[in-house]
Amino acid sequence: MTFLNLKKIHAFLEHVPVVFPELVEQRIQQLLNQIQTLEEEGRTLSRDREDLIVRMAFRIRGGNN
């Protein structure tokens, strides 16, 4: 989670009246966990893409793998 995203979430939530603070806190944590998972998946996909690019470049140059 980037610092900027946390600041945006915090700024938004400052203006939301809290009726059930424990439920809001639980939901915020769920959302933060989902964001973190998506960011990790994005990094994994980026590494996989780079790996595929390198492998294809190697094949184009006449490699065996």
pLDDT tens digits along 52-65: 999 999 999 886 65
In a domain, 26, yes or no: no
Q: How many helices (H) and strands (E) does the chain have?
A: 2, 0
Please indicate, yes or no, if residue 56 is contained in any of the structural domains. Answer: yes
Into how many domains does the chain fold? 1
Q: Cα separations (Å) of 44 from 1, 31, 34?
A: 15, 20, 15
Of residues 4 and 11, more confidently modeled: 11
Residue 62: predicted pLDDT: 82
> pTM of this prediction?
0.60
Q: Domain range spanning residue 56? A: 35-65
Asked if residue 2 is part of any domain, the answer here is no
Q: Is the pLDDT of residue 2 over 80?
A: no
> Each residue of 9-48: pLDDT tens digit?
777 777 777 778 888 889 889 998 999 999 999 999 999 9
pLDDT recorded at residue 43: 96
